[in-house]
Structure 1
Amino acid sequence: MTDAPRTLADAREWARVGTELVLGAVADIGDGEFDADSMLPGWTRKHLAAHVAANADALCNLVHWAATGEETPMYASAEERAAGIAKGPAMSAQELRAWLCASAVKLARGLDGLTAEQWRNKVVTAQGRTVPATELPWMRSREVCVHAADFGTGVSFSDLPAGFLTALVDEIAAKRGLTELPDGPLPEVAAWLAGRPHALADAPELGPWL
């Protein structure tokens, strides 16, 4: 683990890379293969695509909050969040790809439009944390980078930026209260911490994260 701080520019670049990986992953999925299981238990690729798209829409609400001061929660309720994921299976592959792309573009444009002052404005996440808007790109980068691998199209943690993986390891290890980590390549340690498939020998099983 490291004490090196991640910057806003870092997080924005990681979100961009992760978005490209997600869009590339869904482009590689045939229309008839979206109903197949993702790497997440109980979720098909359609569930996962809907979740990632709905996450961008929800973060757009926080961008609006930061830009205008108008309180706009990520989700009106837990039921609304679940409904966004649940509608995925009823959508076509074309509709899901379009939603993923449009929501990502809208979020990126919204972030581009924030002023230096607006980036410092506080918003409240779906988990109830009060954070400055500068945290939004990091929140998005976690979603797109980690979930890009969950589509099961060949994207793995080794495809993710090293700086992102280091920041992810720092965050998850702290949240899990881990002071010692198993030896191994950074992508494998990050995958293990995130509760994803990994190649570490004798590492204890961890519960799911994200």
Structure 2
Amino acid sequence: MTTPTPAALMAELHKAAAALTAGLDRIPAGGESAPSTLPGWSRGHLLAHIAGICNALARQVEYGHRGETVELYDGGVEGRNRAINLAAGHSLEQHREDVAAGVQRALAAFDALGEDEWQTRIAFRNGVIFDAALALWRELVIHTSDLDTGAGPETWNREFCSHLFDFLAARVPAETRLLLQPVALPPLALGAGGSTVVVSGMVTDIAAWLAGRQPSLDSLRATAAGDGTDLPDLLPWPSAMPEPK
């Protein structure tokens, strides 16, 4: 697995933003109240989240540029959830405006960075600005699929799937070793447990499963010791925020 350069990552972010805009344009009038693919969330909830995370990541960069740090969301997890619930019932036009503004703010913040600023420390994941750019990539690509407007995980490119394999290795339980065998691509092992499960299929289906999404090409097969088995349960998505106490 290779990590993209900042320039390559920015190109991916702009492509992901364009795909999100196209997905938004496919939502029919009144469709903001229809369910997204995320349990318990309408498209309105999801769009409110997309706007919120774009603005949250943008301000990580803006503060970092000034040599300061700030928490991801005002009010932490509770503040995030409150903002989503308050904005979920907005009209489709308002959602489109809010998402467009958030995406453009985030892209502008990253586009303005100098070569020496990508490793600037930020509060997000106790990491650097480059980590925030990777997070924006994940948010834009995955949530475009979650909108359920015709562009599912089958549209994810190989570079994005490779990044997910790296980032989501943390979801593999300690006792498990996953041997991923994507069609026509080299195999890849995640985890170091003593129980090996082989997961084969299209690369986008494997990435979707690791991301907790429904594989769209129905190609996955899991085996253990040569026999068919169920796909293993995975640990939670690696959270960037501490849970409220």
Q: TM-score, normalised by structure 1?
A: 0.89
Structure 2 match to 1:166: 162
Output the CA distance in 1 between the equivalents of 2:23 and 2:237: 21
My pick for the range that moved more, 105-114 or 13-22, is 13-22
Give 3-state SS (helix, strand or coil) of 1:164's partner.
Answer: helix
CA contact 2:47–2:88 (8 Å) conserved in 1:
no
Higher helix share: 1
Q: Offset at 1:15?
A: 2.0
- Does residue 18 of structure 1 match 2:16? yes
Give 3-state SS (helix, strand or coil) of 1:34's partner.
Answer: helix
Give 3-state SS (helix, strand or coil) of 2:21's partner.
Answer: helix
Output the CA distance in 2 between the equivalents of 1:88 and 1:44: 11
Output the CA distance in 1 between the equivalents of 2:52 and 2:126: 21
Deviations 1:111-145 (A, max 9, x none): 111223322210011xxx21111222111000011
What number of residue pairs does the alignment pair up?
Answer: 205
Structure 1 match to 2:54: 56
- Does residue 188 of structure 1 match 2:205? yes
Q: CA RMSD in A?
A: 1.8
CA contact 1:12–1:138 (8 Å) conserved in 2:
no
Structure 2 match to 1:5: 3
- Which aligned segments of 4 or more residues in structure 1 are displaced greater than 3 angstroms? 205-210
- Counting only pairs closer than 5 Å after superposition, residues 114-193 of structure 1 correspond to structure 2 as 114-125=113-124, 129-177=125-173, 178-181=177-180, 182-193=199-210
Deviations 1:45-68 (A, max 9, x none): 000001011001001110112110
Output the CA distance in 1 between the equivalents of 2:206 and 2:53: 25
Q: Offset at 1:174?
A: 4.1
- One-letter amino acid matched to 1:204: L
- List runs of 5+ in structure 1 lacking aligned partners: none
Structure of larger gyration radius: 2
CA contact 1:66–1:122 (8 Å) conserved in 2:
yes
- List runs of 5+ in structure 2 lacking aligned partners: 181-198, 223-229, 239-245
CA contact 1:63–1:110 (8 Å) conserved in 2:
yes
Structure 1 match to 2:81: 82
Higher RCO structure (Cα 8 Å, ≥6 apart): 1
Give 3-state SS (helix, strand or coil) of 2:122's partner.
Answer: strand
Output the CA distance in 2 between the equivalents of 1:191 and 1:29: 22
What percentage of residue pairs aligned between the two structures are identical? 27
- Does residue 30 of structure 1 match 2:28? yes
